[in-house]
Structure 1
Amino acid sequence: MSDSSNFSFPHRTPVFTAVIVLLAFGAFAFLARKIYVPHATTVNAIEGVRTPEERKALLVEHHAKEAVTATSYGWVDQKAGVVRLPVDRAIELTVRDHAKK
Structure 2
Amino acid sequence: MSDSTKTPSSSGSLLTVAAAIGGFAIFALIVFIAYLPKKPDPLPDGVRTPEQRKAALADLRAKEKAAATSYGWVDQNAGIVRIPIDEAVAITIKEINAKK
| Fold conserved between structures, TM > 0.5 | yes
Structure 1 residue 51 corresponds to structure 2 residue 24: no
Write out aligned runs for 1:1-101 (5 A). Answer: 42-101=40-99
- Report the equivalent of 1:38: none
Deviations 1:21-50 (A, max 9, x none): xxxxxxxxxxxxxxxxxxxx9453111111
State the TM-score, normalizing by the size of structure 1.
Answer: 0.57
Aligned residues: 62
The gaps in structure 1 that reach 5 residues or longer are: 1-40
Deviations 1:27-79 (A, max 9, x none): xxxxxxxxxxxxxx945311111111100100000000111100000000011
**Percent identity over the alignment?**
51
State the TM-score, normalizing by the size of structure 2.
Answer: 0.57
Q: Distance in 2 between matches of 1:49 and 1:43?
A: 12
How well do the aligned residues superpose, as a CA RMSD in angstroms?
1.8
